[in-house]
Structure 1
Amino acid sequence: MSLLLDIKNLKVDLPTERGVLQAVRGIDIQVKRGEMLCLVGESGCGKSMTSLALMGLLPSKAKRSADHMRFDGIDLQSLDERGMANLRGSRMSMIFQEPMTSLNPSYTLGDQLCEALHAHKKVTAAQARDRAVYLLERAGVPMAADRMRQYPHQLSGGLRQRVMIAMALMCEPDLIIADEPTTALDVTIQAQILRLIRELQKEFGTAVVFITHDLGVVARIADNVSVMYAGQVVENAPVREIFTHPSHHYTRGLLNCIPVRGKTEPGSRLQSIPGVVPSLIGKIEGCTFANRCAHVRDACIAPPNVQVDPTHTALCVDAVPLASLETA
């Protein structure tokens, strides 16, 4: 598969009264066509800010910089607002976190679904309507043709999220960014939405950047995983590697917090990661996880980005190349 999204050393700074908050601190992202990349980490680690930076939707005072930001060979940093608007909705789409507020309450679902198609492609009203109905049906919305005349408040949260998924696919984008799209839904609906996103991604060959804090979700849908902490990617690997050979202490801490059937006794206290995320305002040196890590030592002042294997990196002094373990 060819490379679709190639981001090198992305940074996002936000001015505050106390100083500059480094929300995203030099991360690299690569996504191939048809691939599912999961960005995973605690709330506040920079996942959503990364997605907004990719879409050009950052707050007006935020400053974005990168060594390069390329989407299918297009330099995103060189595009003006009109250029980004031509990409958004057409070749890059986003499913936002909160389905209850992502749709405009003043317009029918049909109007909102067809709007992007009319803006980016030369189609008739009938063609736009037919595609909207088809995608609503594929997204599992019952009575799709009738729903076109309804308003968002007439739908449940799960149906609204299905509408958002259909809307993201209207122009057949190459990339969809899904920012925690199941957070506000109950467990049963979450499972249905996750299965739907994976099925549609395979059917349409769309690359997906899926943002979540739930490793259970990651295990079910990801091809590759980037673990974020305090604005950095601390580990990047195929999903199987993350679960079988976690190499950063933060990743291991996240995995240890998950109850395991047959091992975690009912009613027992779940593990947690002690401490709190450090402030990202001002200059930061060394490993940002050091204040919460039981294995911290002097070498953590300058943690290396270890190449665990050709597709697996970890920003930790204790990360060891797999070849070394196999020959030991």
Structure 2
Amino acid sequence: MALLEVQNLVIDIPTDAGVLHAVSGISFSLERGETLAIVGESGSGKSLTSLALMDLLPRRAQRKADRIAFDGTDLQSISASGMRKLRGNRMAMIFQEPMTSLNPSYTIGNQLMEALTCHRRVPAKEARDRAIHLLEKVGITAADKRMGQYPHQLSGGLRQRVMIAMALMCGPDLIIADEPTTALDVTIQAQILHLIADLQKEFGMAVILITHDLGVVARVADKVGVMYAGRLVETGSARDVFKDPRHPYTRGLLECIPVPGRTQPGMPLGAIRGQVPNLIGKLEGCAFRNRCDFAAGECAGTIPLAAPTPAHDVRCVRLPALEATA
């Protein structure tokens, strides 16, 4: 049995202009110890998907699905108190911007210890020892001293490491990392990603990595889901998606990345023309067709999910034309 199963997840948000279809029927699963990377442009629905799994959506957002199950537990029928017992305990999240996720009024130590004392009812000394141990584990020196500091006294990289330590406090089965390196410089980004990968191997956790950086995905993911305008347009193993991308959007994203040894200095990178469509109102056909060089009349109709190879799914009706240019 998969650790996490999501079938036909839909997220709608009522607005004054109409209903915003933020996520439109996505499905995926995740095994223990696996890393699933969900990639796509800003506004594609990646972060809302992660918030839906944690039941942290904005109040007006409406979540529906055929099934959302965590280790056999139906997350749609579970009570609010039952969800609180899972959230932060067996399911944890590393948020995008640690400065707004950490409480500026409490010390790092208080915030780390709170998760363990709430979920496990352990003595304060045991919680403190666990917090110091994890701060050291994520590469923070003088951890005992850091426990008494406030978030504003730490750099962005240190705050992100604190968020990772906080997510690990209860030894969760699943960690959702929502663009955990967005606010960091390149060298710190690499350190954080290696850290998450090393901790995953050590603790045997499953990881969902939300990102727009395909370079990140290539290094750490087992499976990849490419998301566009609220839909997963291509899913498969990282090897399949990078070696043989089938959807024109996936190809466009990969062409935007410079390749060492192949991309010469001054050589123009690829670009995807146009803009992401408005997701308010009824959406028909392929949402990418107005930006796609392979679009045809059939792209305005129903777009079934095709499987060109086992465990590699693509939502595109123009696969024959794309294969001819592979």
TM-score bucket of the superposed structures, by smaller chain? over 0.9
Corresponding residue of 1:122: 121
Corresponding residue of 2:41: 42
Corresponding residue of 1:80: 79
CA distance in 1, matches of 2:95, 2:232: 22
Corresponding residue of 1:66: 65
Corresponding residue of 2:206: 207
CA distance in 2, matches of 1:260, 1:174: 35
SS in 2 for 1:220: helix
1:113, 1:167 within 8 Å by CA — same for their partners in 2? yes
Deviates more, 1:303-312 or 1:211-220: 303-312
Corresponding residue of 2:142: 143
The code of the aligned residue for 1:51 comes to S
Equivalences, count? 321
Corresponding residue of 1:191: 190
Corresponding residue of 1:261: 260
Following TM superposition, by how much is the alpha carbon of 1:302 offset from its aligned partner in structure 2, in angstroms?
Answer: 2.2
* Structure 2 residue runs without a partner (length 5+): none
Task: Give the alignment of 1:103-252 within 5 angstroms.
Answer: 103-252=102-251
1:247, 1:318 within 8 Å by CA — same for their partners in 2? no
Query: Do residues 319 (structure 1) and 309 (structure 2) align?
Result: no
SS in 1 for 2:76: helix
Identity %: 63
What whole-Å deviation, never above 9, does each CA across 1:179-224 have from its counterpart, x for those lacking one?
0000000000000000000000110001000000000000011000
Following TM superposition, by how much is the alpha carbon of 1:84 offset from its aligned partner in structure 2, in angstroms?
Answer: 1.0
1:13, 1:62 within 8 Å by CA — same for their partners in 2? yes
CA distance in 2, matches of 1:106, 1:61: 28
Deviates more, 1:34-43 or 1:119-128: 119-128
CA RMSD of aligned residues (A): 1.2
CA distance in 2, matches of 1:44, 1:100: 22
CA distance in 2, matches of 1:146, 1:251: 46
Corresponding residue of 2:24: 25
Following TM superposition, by how much is the alpha carbon of 1:122 offset from its aligned partner in structure 2, in angstroms?
Answer: 2.5
1:234, 1:315 within 8 Å by CA — same for their partners in 2? yes
2:7, 2:28 within 8 Å by CA — same for their partners in 1? yes
Corresponding residue of 1:303: 303
CA distance in 2, matches of 1:144, 1:134: 8
2:295, 2:318 within 8 Å by CA — same for their partners in 1? no
What whole-Å deviation, never above 9, does each CA across 1:135-190 have from its counterpart, x for those lacking one?
11110011111111111111100000000000000001111000000000000000
Following TM superposition, by how much is the alpha carbon of 1:260 offset from its aligned partner in structure 2, in angstroms?
Answer: 1.6
The code of the aligned residue for 1:309 comes to T
Corresponding residue of 1:272: 271
Following TM superposition, by how much is the alpha carbon of 1:134 offset from its aligned partner in structure 2, in angstroms?
Answer: 0.7
Corresponding residue of 1:56: 55
* Structure 1 residue runs without a partner (length 5+): none
Following TM superposition, by how much is the alpha carbon of 1:282 offset from its aligned partner in structure 2, in angstroms?
Answer: 0.5
Following TM superposition, by how much is the alpha carbon of 1:69 offset from its aligned partner in structure 2, in angstroms?
Answer: 0.6
The code of the aligned residue for 1:135 comes to L
SS in 2 for 1:78: coil
Deviates more, 1:292-301 or 1:174-183: 292-301
